[in-house]
């Protein structure tokens, strides 16, 4: 059963975890995916978007390796504007169960991070990851043409 957001000081109807590919498309303004993602995010007026320490690792590796400091700074700025979920032992334990079930380690961690922090959904462009928990994990770019 998909997790539900806990209501706290701020009543968040949607808490959406962004897979790393979504962050990449947004920050790098992907020619086919940026606008549809931007419009979808803008339509989520009641949503809190979350990323993780794993997202940071995945999105910063290439710009830092290529010494593209401007791109790295754009990623850091993007990450700072979202809730950043830390990886702790509880997340690793949950990810282990997903790994045993057949997910690759990064995907297992993304699912465990989102679930353990009460996210109401996980947005990705990975059909395999979207099938993990239908109705909770979603390929938000299904049907978007990519030549």
Nearest to 55 by CA among 24, 87, 20: 20
Structural domain contains residue 143: no
Q: Domain with 67 in it: what CATH number? A: 3.40.50.1010
Its pTM stands at 0.87
Determine, yes or no, domain membership for 7.
no
Question: For residue 146, is it within any domain?
Answer: no
Domain for residue 53, yes or no? yes
Whole-angstrom distance, CA of residue 71 vs CA of residue 77? 10
Q: How many CA atoms lie within 13 Å of 132's alpha carbon, on the beta-carbon side? A: 30
Is 108 part of a structural domain of the chain?
A: yes
Number of domains in the chain: 1
pLDDT tens string for the chain (147 positions)? 333 334 444 555 799 999 999 999 999 999 999 999 999 999 998 899 999 999 999 999 999 999 999 999 999 999 999 999 999 999 999 999 999 999 999 999 999 999 999 999 999 999 999 998 988 999 999 988 665
Q: What residues make up the domain containing 46? A: 14-138
Q: Could you read off the pLDDT of 18-32 as tens digits, one per residue?
A: 999 999 999 999 999
């Amino acid at each position: 059963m998909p997790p539900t957001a806990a209501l706290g000081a701020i009543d968040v109807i949607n808490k959406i975890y962004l897979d790393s590919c979504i962050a990449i498309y947004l920050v790098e303004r992907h020619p086919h995916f940026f606008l549809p993602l931007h419009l979808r995010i803008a339509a989520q007026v009641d949503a809190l978007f979350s990323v993780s320490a794993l997202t940071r690792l995945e999105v910063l590796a290439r710009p830092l390796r290529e010494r593209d400091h401007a791109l790295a700074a754009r990623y850091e700025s993007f990450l700072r504007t979202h809730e950043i979920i830390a990886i702790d032992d509880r997340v690793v334990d949950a990810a282990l169960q997903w790994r045993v079930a057949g997910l690759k380690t990064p995907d297992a961690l993304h699912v465990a991070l989102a679930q353990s922090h009460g996210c109401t959904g996980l947005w990705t462009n990975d059909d395999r990851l979207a099938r993990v928990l239908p109705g909770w994990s979603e390929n938000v770019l299904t049907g978007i043409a990519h030549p």
